[in-house]
């Protein structure tokens, strides 16, 4: 069922106390249309009783000015201003644990709806998305260049001072310990496990075809350029390896 047929759109009211220029109505409608047109939307939103069960069980709601009930109500009532406003900060508080989805009597998935709003924020290059994702640049670079986001040699006492005495548990002869693991792909400390070239190149194709790289370009052009160079290099290495096999 499409929700656009019986529109519950609330009229644009604007914020009389803000100096910010009002977001044009067309832009608000475009953003909501992007959220609503996702195939998952009608599956994740079936109605809303405004009962608050989702918020009562939401861990993020305990710590932040955030309520999944409020987000679902904004979407259900098609409150375009409120949706835009929530995308500036609130949607990034969700931990994506989906406790809300397990509890909602309507079978809604507030966490899933928030994911759609996040993806739309990225698509529209919203500053909130750039701010939230900036600290993850290094993780993304590591992930794409090595196939892993965390390697054993990154876990050392200097970097994890807040672990207190427990850090001694990782202050160990890592190389030796890793060599003792039966699986050869884990006998490394520079990556969590070894990812072969073929897998890396296949991952690049998936990221290209699914639009992940387009989203990255919208959010961080410099990182996108660096990652493109790495991908080109790995693809060349993979072609060279295949040529070598043909020559043998
Ligand atoms: S998925 Fe998000 S909104 Fe739902 S319970 Fe978890 S933190 Fe809260
Ligand atoms: S999303 Fe579900 S649990 Fe949350 S307020 Fe609406 S009906 Fe209640």
* Contact of 42 with 113, CB cutoff 8 Å: no
Q: 29: CA distance to ligand 1 center in Å?
A: 25
At 170, is the pLDDT very low, low, confident or very high (cuts 50, 70, 90)? low
Determine which residue's CA is closest to atom 6 belonging to ligand 2: 48
* pLDDT for 12: 47
148: pLDDT strictly greater than 70? yes
* pLDDT for 6: 46
**What pTM, to 2 d.p., does this model score?**
0.78
What DSSP element (H or E) covers 234? helix 221-247
User: Phi/psi zone of residue 66: left (φ > 0), alpha (ψ -120 to 50 degrees), beta?
Assistant: beta
Ligand 1: nearest atom to the Cα of 95? 7
Q: 113: CA distance to ligand 1 center in Å?
A: 10
185: pLDDT strictly greater than 60? yes
For ligand 1, pick from 111, 112, 116 the residue to mutate: most ligand atoms within 8 Å of CB: 111
Ligand 2 within 6 A of 101 CB?
no
Between the alpha carbon of residue 95 and those of residues 60, 89, 114, 199, 219, the distances in Å are 7, 13, 10, 29, 21
* pLDDT for 19: 64
Minimum mean pLDDT range among 17-21, 61-65, 194-198, 244-248: 17-21
The answer for residues whose C-beta is within 8 angstroms of residue 241's C-beta and 6 or more apart is 197
Determine which residue's CA is closest to atom 5 belonging to ligand 1: 58
The arithmetic mean of pLDDT across residues 99-124, rounded, is 97
Minimum mean pLDDT range among 47-61, 114-128, 151-165, 200-214: 151-165
Determine which residue's CA is closest to atom 8 belonging to ligand 1: 58
46: pLDDT strictly greater than 90? yes
Ligand 2 within 6 A of 90 CB?
no
Ligand 2 within 6 A of 72 CB?
yes
* Contact of 140 with 223, CB cutoff 8 Å: yes
Ligand number, closest to the Cα atom of 68 = 1
Instruction: Give the pLDDT confidence of 110-119 residue by residue, as tens digits.
Output: 999 999 999 9
Task: Give which of 105, 99, 1, 14 is closest to 58, Cα–Cα.
Answer: 99
Beta strands in 8-137 (DSSP E): none
Q: 46: CA distance to ligand 1 center in Å?
A: 17
Q: Work out the burial of residue 187: count CB atoms within 10 Å of its CB; fewer than 13 is exposed, 13-18 middle, 19 or more buried.
A: middle
* Contact of 71 with 86, CB cutoff 8 Å: yes
* pLDDT for 17: 60
Ligand 2 within 6 A of 50 CB?
yes
Q: Name the residue with higher pLDDT: 3 or 205.
A: 205
Mean of per-residue pLDDT scores for the chain? 87
Instruction: Give the pLDDT confidence of 9-36 residue by residue, as tens digits.
Output: 444 445 556 666 688 999 999 999 999 9
Q: Work out the burial of residue 61: count CB atoms within 10 Å of its CB; fewer than 13 is exposed, 13-18 middle, 19 or more buried.
A: buried
56: pLDDT strictly greater than 60? yes
Instruction: Give the pLDDT confidence of 57-73 residue by residue, as tens digits.
Output: 999 999 999 999 999 99
* pLDDT for 50: 97
124: pLDDT strictly greater than 90? yes
Beta strands in the chain (DSSP E): none
User: What domains appear along the chain, each with residue ranges and CATH number?
Assistant: 25-124 (1.10.1060.10), 134-247 (no CATH)
Q: Pocket around ligand 1: residues whose beta carbon is below 6 Å from it?
A: 58-60, 68, 94-100, 110-111, 114
Max distance between CA atoms of the chain, in angstroms, equals 74
At 193, is the pLDDT very low, low, confident or very high (cuts 50, 70, 90)? confident
User: H helices then E strands: how many in the chain?
Assistant: 14, 0
Minimum mean pLDDT range among 205-214, 224-233, 239-248: 239-248
Ligand number, closest to the Cα atom of 57 = 1
């Amino acid at each position: 069922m499409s929700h656009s047929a019986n529109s519950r759109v609330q009229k644009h009211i604007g914020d009389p106390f803000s100096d910010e220029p009002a977001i044009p109505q067309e832009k608000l409608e475009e953003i909501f249309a992007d959220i609503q047109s996702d195939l998952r939307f009608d599956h994740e939103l079936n109605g809303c009783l405004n009962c608050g069960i989702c918020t009562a069980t939401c861990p993020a709601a305990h710590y932040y000015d955030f309520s999944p009930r409020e987000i679902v109500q904004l979407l259900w009532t098609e409150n375009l201003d409120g949706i835009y406003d929530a995308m500036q900060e609130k949607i990034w508080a969700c931990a994506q644990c989906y406790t809300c989805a397990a509890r909602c009597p309507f079978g809604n998935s507030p966490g899933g709806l928030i994911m759609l709003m996040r993806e739309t924020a990225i698509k529209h290059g919203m500053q909130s998305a750039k701010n939230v994702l900036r600290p993850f640049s290094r993780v993304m670079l590591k992930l794409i260049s090595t196939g892993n986001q965390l390697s054993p040699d990154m876990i050392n006492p200097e970097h994890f001072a807040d672990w207190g005495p427990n850090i001694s548990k990782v202050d160990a002869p890592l190389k030796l310990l890793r060599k003792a693991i039966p699986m050869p792909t884990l006998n490394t400390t520079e990556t969590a496990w070894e990812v072969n070239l073929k897998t890396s190149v296949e991952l690049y194709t998936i990221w290209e075809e699914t639009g992940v790289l387009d989203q990255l370009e919208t959010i961080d052009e410099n990182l996108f350029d660096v990652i493109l160079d790495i991908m080109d290099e790995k693809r060349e290495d993979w072609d060279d390896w295949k040529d070598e096999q043909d020559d043998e």
